[in-house]
Chain A
Amino acid sequence: MSAGGSGGPATGGIDHNKIIIFGIIGALVGIYAAYFLVNAIGSAFSFIAGLGAICSIVWGASAVRRVSNYGLGTGVPSIGMLAIGTGMVASLFGMAVGSIAGPIISFVTACIIGLVIGILANRIIGMGIPIMEQSMTEIAGAGSLTIVALSTTMSGTFMIETILPNVIGTGYIAMIFIIGALSILHPFNANLGPDEHQDRTLSTGFEKGAIAVIIAGIVATTTAGAASIPTILVGAFIWYTAFSKFYEYIKRDAHKVVGTGVLPTEEELE
């Protein structure tokens, strides 16, 4: 039984390699820019890491779209959860041992674990999806960058001494887990089907990423190193733009969009 996806490679739209570069560079630049600007100027710049998180989320969503189009058999959510599970293990390791190189160590570790899981899935479990190795590497890498970026948005730094009491000890890390997983898995899960289009799926990715940034901004009210108002405002602006774009694509792709009107009252039904 296959759930979701047409059983072939995903087609159309922007070249996936460009999205990979956008995701990696965008996320790393966002994380490091936020870190250095917060240190040099002030906590107001913590929102830049949120922009980085959106880049990696869109990349993750695009990778999920490519691999899930083959039909995973278990539904799309499983691969998002795998991405963020791998990313979580790798990013906590990277931040714990890496100090200033934390985000890069997290990313590389996640890619290695992802690659191994991809090889295992094809060679031992026998899933037979040709791009499984590459996609698992990408998805795990995107998951780890998302986690590091959202942690940085919440606390203004990726140094484990600050992350530990502010994000992990308080339990916000569990929230990062689920908002990260949902924003990576949901875009394709919501748009899959014969009429799936890359631009509509990715606009959902931007929109979900913006919601994650808004939530990270709300958490930032509890931490000293990060400012919440700029993060929430930037998140809300991106959300509005992406959602308008998404709705525009819906109207383009749908046969017809009609209003159903208000529900009939009891008297009208009689």
Chain B
Amino acid sequence: MIDIVGILSANLLYVLLITIGGTLVSFSVHFVPVGGAPAAMAQAPGIGTGTVQLAAGAGLTGLITAGTVLGLTNSIAIVLASGAVGAMLMIGSTMIIGQMVYVFGVGVPPAGGKSKYDPITKDQQDIYSSQGTEGHALPTASYISGIIGGGLGGLGGSLVYYSLVNVTNNIGMTDLAGLAGIFAVGIFFINAVIPSYNIGGTTEGFHDPKFKKWYRAVISSIIATFMCAIIGVLAIGGL
């Protein structure tokens, strides 16, 4: 049997970093403008798919960029920055392509439904919303909110990956990268789903009233990720 206390006390810092990373992912989901099925029909603002798919797309890209950079340097700042930038690029390109489809394909102007004026540009929103819809496409505030969400998510995901790779172990580098990567993906998905239940599947971004509920998902994620962090560190440290 493995030395549970020994491994945990030697890697306590990484347990805490993984918990912080997972919690950051959970917080980041609240920023991403997800519209779900109504947005896919241009009847609500946001990107027309589910939270989990978006978080996964952006977060996994962040994980891949962080993993690639980790092969070249062990500096935590560069790894985290590349993870964040990778996820921001991915969510940004998803939103810009989605925006083009809404504007040139569906033929609707970007307009939010949760506030009368865009909190960033101060443009009036309600007069551009089609009748019977809550708004459509991605107004500026939602777009910027999404970029912030992508950045935080990528930061959290790469923090989890960085911590898992650095746990003291006796595994070869290729196997370690696979093991830490899939652990990070598992923790990422848990922390992407918890907040998506919190916001009920759709949000417009930081100006959405649902955003105020973020602390509930964050508390839940701290507890859930802490358990996963202990398990992950024990599994990798015990090999």
Binding site for B on A (CB under 8 A): 1, 3, 72-75, 77-79, 81-82, 84-90, 92-93, 96-97, 109, 112-113, 116-117, 120-121, 124-127, 160, 164-165, 168-171, 173-174, 177
Contact = CB atoms under 8 A, between A and B. Distances in A.
Interface string B218-237: 01100110011001101110
B115 interface: no
Contacts of A79: 193
20 contacts: A74-B50, A74-B200, A74-B201, A81-B52, A82-B193, A82-B194, A88-B186, A89-B186, A96-B235, A97-B2, A112-B227, A117-B190, A117-B224, A121-B197, A125-B197, A125-B217, A165-B175, A169-B174, A174-B181, A177-B186
User: Does more than half of chain B's interface fall in helix, strand or loop, or is it mixed?
Assistant: helix
Contact of A82 (B174, B179, B190, B223): B190
A93 B196 contact: no
B190 A164 contact: no
B51 interface: yes
B185 A85 contact: yes
A164 B183 CA distance: 13
A164 B171 contact: yes
A124 B232 contact: no
B178 A113 contact: no
B166 to A, nearest CB: 17
B138 interface: no
Contacts of B1: 97
B216 A126 contact: yes
Given A89-B231, A96-B235, A120-B223, 16 more contacts: A3-B37, A3-B201, A74-B52, A74-B200, A78-B51, A78-B197, A81-B189, A82-B190, A85-B186, A89-B186, A96-B238, A113-B227, A120-B224, A164-B179, A168-B175, A169-B175
Among B37, B200, B202, B216: residue with most chain A CB under 10 A = B200
A180 to B, nearest CB: 11
A31 B185 CA distance: 25
Contacts of B182: 88, 92, 168, 173-174, 177
Contacts of A121: 194, 197, 220
Contacts of B185: 85, 88, 174, 177
Contacts of A89: 183, 186-187, 190, 228, 231-232
Nearest to A79: B193
A49 B202 CA distance: 39
A111 B164 CA distance: 23
Contacts of A77: 50, 52-53
Among B186, B187, B223: residue with most chain A CB under 10 A = B186
B111 interface: no
Interface in B63-120: none
A85 B189 CA distance: 6
Contacts of B234: 93, 96-97
Contacts of A170: 178
Q: How large is the interface on B (under 10, 10 to 19, 20 to 34, 35 or more residues)?
A: 35 or more
Nearest to A74: B201
Contacts of A126: 216
Contact of A116 (B51, B181, B227): B227
Among B36, B179, B189, B234: residue with most chain A CB under 10 A = B189
Contacts of B36: 1, 3, 74-75
A97 B238 contact: yes
A161 B194 CA distance: 33
A165 to B, nearest CB: 6
B161 to A, nearest CB: 14
A84 B51 CA distance: 16
Nearest to A171: B178
B189 to A, nearest CB: 3
A174 B186 CA distance: 10
A82 B232 CA distance: 16
A168 B180 CA distance: 10
B56 interface: yes
A169 B172 contact: yes
B38 interface: yes
A156 B34 CA distance: 42
A97 B186 CA distance: 18
Nearest to A87: B186
Contacts of B200: 1, 73-74
Contacts of B236: 96
Leading 6 A-B pairs by shortest Cβ distance: A85-B189, A74-B201, A88-B186, A96-B235, A169-B175, A120-B220
